[in-house]
Structure 1
Amino acid sequence: MPQQTFGSYEEFWPYYVAMHSRTATRWIHLTGTLTGLAITVHGLARGRKRYALALPLIGYGTAWPAHFLIERNNPATFGHPAWSLRGDAQMIGMMLAGRDRELADTASEWLAENT
Structure 2
Amino acid sequence: MSDGFASFREFYEFYLGEHRNPICRRLHFAGSSLALGFVLLAVLRGDPRWLMASLLSGYAFAWVGHFFFEHNRPATFKHPFYSFAGDWVMFKDILIGKIPF
Please report the TM-score for the alignment, with normalisation by the length of structure 1.
0.79
Q: What is the correspondence of 1:1-115 to structure 2 with a 5 Å cutoff?
A: 5-101=4-100
Structure 1: segments with no counterpart, 5+ residues: 104-115
Cα distance in 1 for residues equivalent to 2:24 and 2:88:
14
RMSD, matched Cα: 1.7
Q: What is the number of residues matched between the two proteins? A: 99
Deviation string, structure 1 residues 46-100 (Cα, Å, up to 9, x no partner): 1111111122100001111110100000000000000011111110101000112
Distance 1:33 1:18 in 2: 19
Give me the identity figure in percent. 35
Where in structure 2 are there 5+ consecutive unaligned residues?
none
Greater helix share, 1 or 2? 1
Cα drift, residue 20 of structure 1 = 0.4
1:44 deviates by: 2.4
Distance 1:9 1:21 in 2: 19
Tell me the SS of whatever aligns to 2:6.
coil
Q: Which moved more, 1:88-97 or 1:36-45?
A: 36-45
Find runs of 4+ consecutive structure 1 residues off by over 3 angstroms: none
How far is the alpha carbon of 1:7 from its aligned partner? 2.2
CA shift for structure 1 position 40: 2.2
Normalising by the residue count of structure 2, what TM-score does the alignment of the two structures yield? 0.90
Post-superposition shift, 1:11?
1.3
* Cα distance in structure 1, aligned partners of 2:5 and 2:48: 36
- C-alpha distance in structure 2 between counterparts of 1:25 and 1:66, whole Å: 4
Partner AA of 1:50 in structure 2 = R
Letter in 2 for 1:95: I
